[in-house]
């Protein structure tokens, strides 16, 4: 199924574009066409942008943004009809009934159920014929979901603040205990052209394999004194992870080389779908050096500025202000943040995973 979908998507060159903060696309100008391929309905979005590929993350983000538009009365009924004609069948391609979705997506699922009841197996193009009463009812359903979504975001932000306090205390304990530590940062994700086939189930499987490597402390994970990780979902990056690994500074001195080995380990786990960003890239490092905010590399206990920068950089992993980066779908009980536990007695690393 996924291979056939890839061939079709590549042939269509179907792309979405929207800005999370200032949505400017005129949905009424979209030209949409439905194409059946082995019972898979794919909708072609013809927008004069070529930036965001059609994948689970981009579709869920588009749905969430549409829900916010309706809630804030930023879209009229005619534009909403065209948006639904495009998004409903596209959402169904990527929907998984074994996942739990955030309230805004759940609300959209309720909208789809209502639309299906009204249409009674007719084509989704018939949404264009919905009357004012039909559209008013759909708007009510969407607005109700946004009330729940606001509560969800508030809980998420509060959890991120608690996670920040946890990671700050953890790094304070580590830097108090060791004279120098090598802080290594890597971002793990997926190639843009492969994101269509990466859902949260596969992402979780890959992260479990990666965390197993951490626990075993073999190869590039030896001499590890601590770590933290956070899972996120972005419009263009799709599902990705921010990882901080902390090594004994007396045994390791080169962050770039270690980050590359860590990234290569991720590529081994993910195969042809994976990619990574080495945060120790020379130009990337120079940028933070100029700003006086570099928080990775060798961190010395007797240098308060280095320690402060390192803690601030690590807290970015769980920044509550990054409210658009939360996972929109999860496996039930899935954790999105983890930090090793500091035990001064024997300094063994134990994993604690926190719900975020």
Domain match, 245 and 315 both: yes
Query: Which position has the higher pLDDT, 2 or 288?
Result: 288
Tell me the whole-structure pTM to 2 decimals.
0.80
Joined together, the tokens standing for residue 49 give 């942008």
Whether 234 and 334 share a structural domain:
yes
Residue 21: pLDDT band with limits 50, 70, 90 = very low
**Residue-level pLDDT at 46:** 28
Q: Are 17 and 135 members of one domain? A: yes
Q: Are residues 203 and 269 in the same domain?
A: yes
Q: CATH no. for residue 348?
A: 3.30.70
From the number of C-beta atoms within 10 Å of its C-beta (0-12, 13-18, 19+), residue 339 rates as buried
pLDDT at 22: 28
Residues 12 and 131 in one domain: yes
**Residues 92 and 188 grouped into a single domain:** no
Rounded to whole angstroms, the Cα distance separating 32 from 123 reads 13
User: What size, in residues, is the chain?
Assistant: 356
Name the percent of the chain lying above pLDDT 90.
66
Q: How far is CA 22 from CA 16, 18, 28, 312, in A?
A: 15, 8, 17, 28
pLDDT for 299-319, tens place per residue?
999 999 999 999 999 999 988
Least confident of 18-22, 219-223, 344-348: 18-22
Question: What are the φ and ψ backbone dihedral angles of 92, each rounded to 5 degrees?
Answer: -65, -30
- How high is the pLDDT of residue 7? 36
Provide the strand spans (E) within 162-223: 180-190
CB 279 within 8 A of CB 295: no
Mean predicted confidence (pLDDT) in 93-108: 93
- Count up the domains in the chain and report the number: 2
Q: How far apart are CA 168 and CA 42, in angstroms?
A: 46
Helix intervals (H) in 253-302: 255-270, 282-291
Say if CB 312 and CB 293 are below 8 A apart. yes
Claim to verify: residue 134 and residue 260 sit in the same structural domain: no
Last residue of one domain, picked from the residues 95, 118, 152: 152
* pLDDT at residue 168 greater than cutoff 80: yes
* pLDDT over 90 at 2, yes or no: no
Q: Which two tokens stand for residue 258?
A: 């270690």
170 and 92, same structural domain?
Answer: no
Render 136-197 in DSSP notation, one character per residue.
Answer: HHHHHHHHHHHHHHHHHHHHHHHHHHHHHHHHHHHHHHHHHH-SEEEEEEEEEEE-GGGGGG
The confidence band for 342, taking pLDDT boundaries of 50, 70 and 90, is: low
DSSP string, 311-334: HHHHHGGG-TT-GGGS-SEE-TT-
For 208-243, write each residue's pLDDT tens digit: 999 999 988 889 999 899 999 999 998 888 999 999
Residues 321, 203, 19: CA angle, nearest 5 degrees: 40
Q: What is the pLDDT of residue 348?
A: 47
In this prediction, residue 350 carries a pLDDT of 46
245-303 pLDDT, tens digit per residue, is 999 999 999 999 999 999 999 999 999 899 999 999 999 999 999 999 999 999 999 99
Query: What pLDDT, on the 0 to 100 scale, is given for residue 125?
Result: 96
Whether residue 339 is found in the same domain as residue 207: yes
Mean pLDDT, the chain, rounded, equals: 83
Residue-range definition of the domain harbouring residue 68: 2-152
Helix and strand counts by DSSP (H, E) for the chain: 9, 13
193/123 same-domain check? no
Phi and psi torsions of 21, nearest 5°? -105, -30
- 């030896």: which residue's tokens? 222
Over residues 59-72, the mean pLDDT reads 91
Q: Are residues 299 and 170 in the same domain?
A: yes
pLDDT of res. 51: 52
* 123/181 same-domain check: no
Last residue of a domain, one of 87, 119, 152: 152
Q: What span, in angstroms and rounded, lies between the C-alpha atoms of 234 and 180?
A: 34
Mean pLDDT of 182-192: 97
Task: Report residue 184 CA to chain centroid gap.
Answer: 21
pLDDT digits (tens, 9 = 90+) for 101-119: 999 999 999 999 999 999 9
Last residue of a domain, one of 152, 171, 200: 152
Helix, strand, or coil here: 267? helix
DSSP 33-82: EEEEETTEEEEEEE-S---EESSHHHHHHHHHHHHHHHHTT-S-HHHHHH
């Amino acid at each position: 199924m996924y291979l056939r979908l890839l061939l079709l998507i590549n042939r269509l060159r179907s792309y979405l574009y929207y800005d999370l903060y200032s949505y400017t696309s005129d949905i009424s100008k979209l030209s949409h066409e439905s194409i059946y391929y082995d019972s898979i309905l794919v909708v072609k979005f013809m927008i004069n942008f070529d930036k965001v590929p059609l994948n689970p993350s981009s579709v869920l983000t588009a749905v969430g943004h549409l829900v916010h538009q309706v809630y804030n009365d930023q879209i009229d009924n005619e534009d909403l009809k065209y948006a639904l004609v495009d998004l409903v069948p596209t959402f169904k391609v990527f929907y998984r009934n074994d996942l739990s979705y955030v309230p805004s997506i759940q609300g959209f699922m309720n909208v789809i159920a209502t639309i299906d009841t009204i249409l009674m197996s007719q084509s989704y193009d018939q949404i264009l014929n919905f009357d004012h009463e039909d559209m008013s009812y759909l708007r009510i359903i969407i607005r109700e979901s946004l009330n729940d979504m606001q509560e969800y975001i508030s809980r998420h932000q509060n959890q991120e603040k608690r996670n920040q306090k946890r990671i700050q205390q953890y790094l304070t304990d580590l830097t108090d205990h060791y004279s120098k530590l090598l802080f290594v940062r890597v971002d793990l994700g997926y190639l843009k052209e492969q994101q269509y086939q990466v859902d949260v189930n596969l992402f979780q499987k890959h992260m479990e394999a990666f965390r197993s490597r951490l626990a075993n402390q073999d190869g590039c994970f030896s001499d590890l004194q601590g770590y933290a990780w956070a899972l996120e979902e972005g419009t263009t990056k799709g599902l990705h992870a921010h990882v901080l690994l902390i090594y004994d500074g007396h045994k390791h001195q080169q962050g770039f080389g270690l980050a590359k080995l860590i990234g290569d380990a991720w590529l081994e786990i993910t195969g042809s779908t994976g990619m990574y960003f080495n945060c120790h890239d020379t130009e990337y490092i120079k940028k933070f050096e100029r700003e006086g905010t570099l928080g990775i590399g060798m961190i010395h206990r007797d240098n308060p500025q280095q320690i402060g920068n390192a803690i601030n950089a690590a807290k970015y992993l769980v920044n509550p202000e990054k409210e658009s980066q939360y996972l929109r779908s999860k496996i039930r009980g899935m954790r999105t943040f983890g930090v090793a536990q500091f035990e001064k007695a024997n300094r063994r690393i134990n994993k604690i995973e926190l719900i975020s």
